[in-house]
Amino acid sequence: MSMNTMIRKSTTILTYFKSNYNNFFSTSTRRKPNLTNHHPRRFNSTTSPNPIHDQVIDFPGGNLKFIPQMTFLSESQQHRVPCYRVLDDNGEPIFGTDFVQVSEDFAVKMYNNMVALQTMDTIFYEAQRQGRISFYVTTNGEEAINIASAAALSMNDVIFPQYREQGVLLWRGFTLQEFANQCFSNKFDNGKGRQMPAHYGSNKHNYMNVASTVATQIPHAVGAAYSLKMDKKDACAVTYFGDGGSSEGDFHAGLNFAAVMEAPVIFICRNNGWAISTPTSDQFRSDGIVVKGQAYGVRSIRVDGNDALAIYSAVQAARQMAVSEERPILIEALTYRVGHHSTSDDSTKYRPANEIEWWRLSRDPVARFRKWIERNGWWNDMAESELRNSLRQQLLQTIQVAESVEKPPLADMFSDVYDVPPSNLHEQEKRLKETVKKHPHVYPTNISI
Ligand SMILES: Cc1ncc(C[n+]2csc(CCOP(=O)(O)OP(=O)(O)O)c2C)c(N)n1
Ligand SMILES: [Mg+2]
Q: Measured in angstroms, how far is the CA atom of residue 344 from the centroid of ligand 1?
A: 13
Of all protein residues, the one whose alpha carbon is nearest to atom 21 of ligand 1 is 242
The sign of the CA dihedral 42, 47, 51, 54 is negative
Tens of pLDDT, residue by residue over 365-417, are: 999 999 999 999 999 999 999 999 999 999 999 999 999 999 999 999 999 98
Question: Counting ligands in written order, which one lies closest to the CA of residue 334?
Answer: 2
Which atom of ligand 1 lies nearest, measured to the CA of 242?
15
CATH entry, 104-404, from 3.40.50.970, 3.30.1220.10, 2.160.10.10, 3.30.1330.10: 3.40.50.970
Q: What single-letter DSSP state applies at residue 282?
A: G
Q: Measured in angstroms, how far is the CA atom of residue 372 from the centroid of ligand 1?
A: 33
Question: Is 341 annotated in the active site?
Answer: yes
Question: Is 178 annotated in the active site?
Answer: no
Question: How buried is residue 443: exposed, middle or buried, by Cβ count under 10 Å (0-12/13-18/19+)?
Answer: middle
SS3 120: helix
Question: Is 415 annotated in the active site?
Answer: no
Predicted pLDDT of residue 29 = 33
Alpha-carbon distances of 274 from 246, 253, 271, 281, 364, rounded to whole Å: 12, 22, 8, 9, 17
Question: Counting ligands in written order, which one lies closest to the CA of residue 341?
Answer: 1
Which atom of ligand 1 lies nearest, measured to the CA of 341?
19
Q: Measured in angstroms, how far is the CA atom of residue 400 from the centroid of ligand 1?
A: 31
Strand order in the sheet with 237-242: 158-160, 237-242, 265-271, 329-334, 299-304
Q: Give dist(CA 104, CA 172) in Å, integer.
A: 19
Q: Measured in angstroms, how far is the CA atom of residue 91 from the centroid of ligand 1?
A: 32
Pocket of ligand 1, candidates 196, 214, 347, 359: which has the most ligand atoms within 8 Å of its Cβ, to mutate? 214
Question: Is 26 annotated in the active site?
Answer: no
Q: Which residues line ligand 1 (CB under 6 A)?
A: 164, 212-214, 241-245, 270, 272, 274-276, 337, 341
Contact partners, residue 90, CB within 8 Å, separation at least 6: 368, 371
Question: How buried is residue 74: exposed, middle or buried, by Cβ count under 10 Å (0-12/13-18/19+)?
Answer: exposed
Pocket of ligand 1, candidates 276, 284, 335, 338: which has the most ligand atoms within 8 Å of its Cβ, to mutate? 276
Q: Measured in angstroms, how far is the CA atom of residue 147 from the centroid of ligand 1?
A: 21
Which atom of ligand 1 lies nearest, measured to the CA of 248?
1
Q: Measured in angstroms, how far is the CA atom of residue 199 from the centroid of ligand 1?
A: 14
Q: Measured in angstroms, how far is the CA atom of residue 203 from the centroid of ligand 1?
A: 24
| Domains of the chain, residue spans | 3-65, 104-404, 410-442
* Closest to 333 in 3D by CA, of 84, 63, 137: 84
Question: Counting ligands in written order, which one lies closest to the CA of residue 138?
Answer: 1
Instruction: Confirm if 93 and 86 have CB atoms less than 8 A apart.
Output: yes
Catalytic residue among 149, 202, 247, 342: 342
Which atom of ligand 1 lies nearest, measured to the CA of 247?
15
Catalytic residue among 126, 248, 374, 403: 126
Predicted pLDDT of residue 318 = 98
Helix (H) or strand (E) holding 241: strand 237-242
263-297 burial, b for 16+ CB within 10 Å, e for fewer?
bbbbbbbbbbbbbeeeebeeeeeeebbbbbbeebb
Catalytic residue among 212, 252, 286, 415: 212
**Which residue type, as a one-letter code, is found at position 66?**
F
Instruction: Confirm if 254 and 222 have CB atoms less than 8 A apart.
Output: yes
Q: Is 83 left (phi over 0), alpha (psi -120 to 50) or beta?
A: beta
Whether this prediction's pTM lies above 0.85 is answered by: yes
Of all protein residues, the one whose alpha carbon is nearest to atom 18 of ligand 1 is 242
Q: Per residue of the chain (449 residues), what is the pLDDT tens digit? A: 444 444 444 444 334 333 333 333 333 333 333 333 434 445 555 555 566 667 899 998 899 999 999 999 999 989 999 999 999 999 999 999 999 999 999 999 999 999 999 999 999 999 999 999 999 999 999 999 999 999 999 999 999 999 999 999 999 999 999 999 999 999 999 999 999 999 999 999 999 999 999 999 999 999 999 999 999 999 999 999 999 999 999 999 999 999 999 999 999 999 999 999 999 999 999 999 999 999 999 999 999 999 999 999 999 999 999 999 999 999 999 999 999 999 999 999 999 999 999 999 999 999 999 999 999 999 999 999 999 999 999 999 999 999 999 999 999 999 998 999 999 999 999 999 999 999 999 888 878 88
Which atom of ligand 1 lies nearest, measured to the CA of 137?
19
**Which residue type, as a one-letter code, is found at position 126?**
E
Contact partners, residue 325, CB within 8 Å, separation at least 6: none
Residues in the chain: 449
**Which residue type, as a one-letter code, is found at position 138?**
T
Q: Give dist(CA 179, CA 185) in Å, integer.
A: 10
Instruction: Confirm if 268 and 239 have CB atoms less than 8 A apart.
Output: yes
Cross-strand partners of 271: 334
